Amino acid sequence: MFSTLSLIASFLHLGVHGQAPKPHLIFILQDDLGRFDTAIYGNKAAEAATHNITSLAREGVVLSNHYVHWHCSPTRRSFLTGRLPLHHTEKLSGLDTDDIDLRWAWISEKLRAAGYVSHWYGKGHTGYRSMNHLPARRGFNGGSLLFFTGAGSYTTLPRWSGEGPVDTKQEYSTDLFGSLAVRAVRDHDPAVPLFLYLPFQAVHTPYDLPPDRTGAECPSNIACMLQDADRWVGELVLALKEKGMYENTLIVYSSDNGGVTDGNNYPLRGEKHTNWQGAMRVAAFVSGGYVPKAVRGTTNDGVFHVVDWYPTFAGLAGVDGSDDPPVPPLPVDPQHPDRDIYQGGLSYPPVDGKDIWPQVASGSSTTPHPCLWLSAEVLLKGKYKLLVAQPSPELMFSQFVNNGWKLPNGTWVDAPDGLWPCNAYQRRSHFVPCLFDVDADPREEHNLAAEMPELVSAMWAELNRTSLTAYSARSPERLLGICHPLCALGKWGGTPGPVCGVPGCEWDTEGEVVV
């Protein structure tokens, strides 16, 4: 079946001379967007604030089962590397942490090899311990301007352009990143394939409103912030059309996780920082002229993950979507759970994503993931979701998580811990999993664990086996470079940034110059 779909997808985009053209690729990532915060899934009240985004969704293919991680950094690292958070940890990236192994090829590097010019304008939050962690050194050869941290002021957070800090005169981040993306398109040669990564800061807290809006005139903070991002999405599409690029452009739009605080994931359960569907099954769609006409205006029910865009983009660009280690990992052995299957620094995990273009382009809802790890406590297998507990409190700052259902009016329906053993959060000494049929029960209201104990046991064992492939970055020192925090801070004029491999700081801790 898969080979047939591949042939269909390839045929749909054969050029005049029998060669598939390389499409322009745009990935827009909205921060902390709730599934009910736009009109993509039918919330008519949000249509005015998200007119352009909603129009794009309706002209393309809405993805009803697009999964991400339950919070920020892991999703972003997964998109860039094609690897599940299991293979770069579920932790939030610090400013100077090594979270993406420097031996891995980013999707931007894959696309650069295919002749693409690539741009990154927006939020970072993927770890920048060394100069070699900067987008400018990882294939973003057209331009990059970003901030490194997870959250903060929309005007005063330090920003980096290329390989150094830059003063952007406190311009509101949505307007800054949106205008840079539009300019990149207007200045681009349409004959050269373009890759544009646009991870907006909106609508993450703090709820800093656009400079031309006040709280009194906003139906909600999120609505006004989204409306500004929506305006730039419209400007971006207009620029693509004016340049004659739109018909050969694929646009992917997604949230990095579910909504939280003022965000709303109705009808799904939970919010960011939980293992419920509201945190992981997010608003997403594909659009643009490259989407086959036969599937425009449809919804695809296939189970996809953000890691899938890595091999999908690579495949569309005509390059290999794998990124295998020089030495394969050892087989997992549940009898020896402490064995390092990566043998120190010899090996690392390959790409986890699958090329989903055959499914998207043909309208097929077959899933490339018979079994999908979503977090340390969640496994998805077909229509069944095993949920062992909520995420470890060590991964975030929250003292509690919302395990209930948020209604369209913003009020919560509670889910008492006594009725839901998989609510377990602070107490983690004994787990009692829940099991859901998320096809028949997308709101996760009916725990099937007592009715299907054998499936629970089998899925829990599979989750445990999969967890034995866990990995965190082991970037070699030769790629990191000499680490000198004090020298680096001086180099950057007091602005926090990379501390390893910094030009002018090439000496070791004893003051010896490294040649």
pLDDT tens per residue across span 130-143: 999 999 999 999 99
The domain of 489 spans: 482-514
Considering the domain boundaries, does residue 117 fall inside one?
yes
The residue behind tokens 């490294």 is 514
Q: Is 164 a residue whose pLDDT tops 90?
A: yes
Confidence of residue 21 (pLDDT cuts 50, 70, 90): confident
Q: What is the pTM of this model?
A: 0.95
Q: Is 168 a residue whose pLDDT tops 90?
A: no
Number of domains in the chain: 3
Ranges assigned E (strand) in 91-184: 117-123, 143-147, 159-161, 164-166
Q: Is 332 a residue whose pLDDT tops 80?
A: yes
Question: Looking at the structure, do residues 411 and 288 belong to the same domain, yes or no?
Answer: no
Question: Looking at the structure, do residues 128 and 75 belong to the same domain, yes or no?
Answer: yes
What is the rounded average pLDDT of the residues 212-233?
Answer: 92
Considering the domain boundaries, does residue 358 fall inside one?
yes
Dihedral angle of Cα 70, 73, 79, 82, to the nearest 10 degrees: -90
Confidence of residue 4 (pLDDT cuts 50, 70, 90): very low
Question: Looking at the structure, do residues 315 and 398 belong to the same domain, yes or no?
Answer: no
Where is pLDDT greater, at 399 or 377?
377
Return the HEC string of 60-96. Answer: CEEEEEEECCCCHHHHHHHHHHCCCHHHCCCCCCCCC
> How confident is the model over 47-83, as pLDDT tens digits?
999 999 999 999 999 999 999 999 999 999 999 999 9
What is the rounded average pLDDT of the residues 177-187?
Answer: 98
Ramachandran region, residue 98 (left: φ > 0; alpha: ψ -120 to 50; beta: rest): beta
Question: Looking at the structure, do residues 345 and 401 belong to the same domain, yes or no?
Answer: no
**Residue 440 to residue 111: CA distance in whole angstroms:** 39
Considering the domain boundaries, does residue 15 fall inside one?
no
The pLDDT value recorded for residue 306 is 98
Q: Is 514 a residue whose pLDDT tops 80?
A: no
Q: Is 208 a residue whose pLDDT tops 50?
A: yes
The pLDDT value recorded for residue 215 is 77
Confidence of residue 19 (pLDDT cuts 50, 70, 90): low
Question: Looking at the structure, do residues 379 and 358 belong to the same domain, yes or no?
Answer: no
**Residue 417 to residue 447: CA distance in whole angstroms:** 13
Q: What percent of the chain has pLDDT over 70?
A: 94
> How confident is the model over 387-398, as pLDDT tens digits?
999 999 999 877
Q: Is 399 a residue whose pLDDT tops 90?
A: no
Question: Looking at the structure, do residues 388 and 247 belong to the same domain, yes or no?
Answer: no
Question: Looking at the structure, do residues 174 and 312 belong to the same domain, yes or no?
Answer: yes
The pLDDT value recorded for residue 89 is 98
What is the rounded average pLDDT of the residues 461-475?
Answer: 98
CATH of the domain at 204: 3.40.720.10
Question: Looking at the structure, do residues 62 and 146 belong to the same domain, yes or no?
Answer: yes
Average pLDDT, the chain: 94
What is the rounded average pLDDT of the residues 228-234?
Answer: 98
Residue that is last in its domain, among 307, 336, 368: 368
Q: Is 5 a residue whose pLDDT tops 70?
A: no
Question: Looking at the structure, do residues 284 and 388 belong to the same domain, yes or no?
Answer: no
Considering the domain boundaries, does residue 3 fall inside one?
no
Sequence-separated (6 or more) residues with CB below 8 Å from residue 67: 280, 281, 282, 303, 304, 305, 306, 372, 374, 380
The pLDDT value recorded for residue 429 is 82
Closest CA to 376 of 469, 282, 255: 469
The pLDDT value recorded for residue 20 is 60
Q: Is 15 a residue whose pLDDT tops 70?
A: no
The pLDDT value recorded for residue 18 is 42
**Residue 138 to residue 418: CA distance in whole angstroms:** 49
* Amino acid found at 354: K
Least confident of 23-27, 225-229, 436-440, 505-509: 505-509
Where is pLDDT greater, at 211 or 397?
211
Question: Looking at the structure, do residues 356 and 386 belong to the same domain, yes or no?
Answer: no
Q: Is 316 a residue whose pLDDT tops 70?
A: yes
